Structure formats: C-alpha cells, structure tokens
Homo-oligomer: A and B are copies of this chain.
Amino acid sequence: MNYDLQTKLKLLNHLMSFISEERKKRFSDIINFRTRHLTVVLEDIYQSHNASAVLRSCDLTGVQDIHIIENKNEYDVNPEVALGSSKWLNLIKYNSNENNTLDAYNKLRGKGYKIIATTPHKNSKDLDSLSIDDKTAIVFGTELTGLSNIAIDAADEYLRIPMYGFTESYNISVSAAITLFTLTQRLHKSDINWKLDTNEITDIQLDWARNSISRHEVVEKHFFNNMN
C-alpha cells in the first residue's frame, strides 16, 4: 500500500516500539550506509550459490537493490550462502518479457542509471577510472559464457577488472565483491550524494521492521484501525 510520508513515519514509529533498542540502533547504523546510487544487475546467473554470495556482498557494502534478469535461469536464494541477507535487500526481477535484459535496461535508464557491462573483451574502464558521478548499474553475466551479446551491445560503458594470471576470469561472486567494495569505498570518500532520501529510508526501514516482527500484519491492522 502507498501511504504518504507522514503516515508511513507514524506507522514506522509504531512498529519500532515492538523492536529492541539494540536492533533499532543496528537499523539506523546500517541504513546510513545504504545506497541506490550504485546498483547490481545479474543476467541469468544459474548457480544459486554465486547469486547468493553476490547478495551477501551487496548487504555488506550497502548496495540496497539487486536487479535479477531471468531469460533462462530462475534464481533462488541459497540460504546457506546468503546468510539471510536477501531479507534486508530489494530484489527486483525481470522475467515477464521476451527479452528481459532490454526491459531491465530501459527501466533502469528511466530511473537515471548509466548501464555498465562487466566484460574482459571490450575497450573498457577499470575500477579507478570508471566515472561514478551518475547513478551506476553494474551488470554481471553468467558463470561460463559471461554477458549476452544484447547485454553488451546495449550497455553505455564497459568495466574490466585487471587480471595478471593464467586463469581467464574471476569467479562471478569474486568479481562482484571486488567491484562493489572498491566502488562503495570510492563513493564514501567522494562528494557524490549517494545516500538514500527520507522517503526511501522510511520505506526500507518499514520493510526491515516488518521482517523483525512476528505477525506484523496484525500489528499494522490494529494501528490503522486505531488511526481511523
């Protein structure tokens, strides 16, 4: 349901009264480092432990949204690897079109994102030279074949992690972790306005509070009954 900000803040305040001080402190520490300036796009990841490891790295580096393109592989969270991180993140799935990659790109561009495809095969920027002044969506491809041609051709820029060894590529979860860690550290040191706004913070904290309260639907219903 879509409430106005004032109503949401009142509801949040109410839900927070059911949550321990320690956990509330945790929420406020963590939300302070959450960002949508940087986001992750996964195209047809088929090994769930890899996708789950990416979610865990998103949580740990503060990247709130993960966009999951399912042209071929339906994605499930591997609970052992994700360690519950998916319940603190926003997962946005693209699986209802013929080509979900272009659908995802269009929607992300509509929100102001520049699309960066990770590929070792193109003229590309590295993690230091990639501009992150604009909102940035980093796209990672499948384990063996990498990104689809469509995902590469329709991107705005290309990113490559330097490799100095015999192995041809980094594991997907490793390359995502290096990318997210390096770029979020760059954001933290920059003047870029990468933090969430009040509306976003309120929505996310509402989700977190709901995840932390058993039978939160009942609590919410009571709240709105008493309001009217």
**A26 touching B62, Cβ below 8 Å:** no
Count of chain copies: 2
CA distance A167 to B60 in the complex (A): 6
**CB closest residue in chain B, given A181:** B178
Given B26, B34, B167, which contacts A59 in the complex, CB threshold below 8 Å? B167
**Contacting residues, chain B, for A219 (C-beta < 8 A):** none
Chain A contact residues, majority secondary structure: helix
- Give the distance to chain B from A178, nearest Cβ to Cβ, in Å: 5
**Contacting residues, chain B, for A81 (C-beta < 8 A):** 171
Residue count of chain A within 8 Å CB distance of chain B: 35
**B59 touching A166, Cβ below 8 Å:** yes
**Contacting residues, chain B, for A192 (C-beta < 8 A):** none
**A60 touching B163, Cβ below 8 Å:** yes
Interface assignment of A100: CB less than 8 Å from any CB of chain B: no
**Contacting residues, chain B, for A161 (C-beta < 8 A):** 181
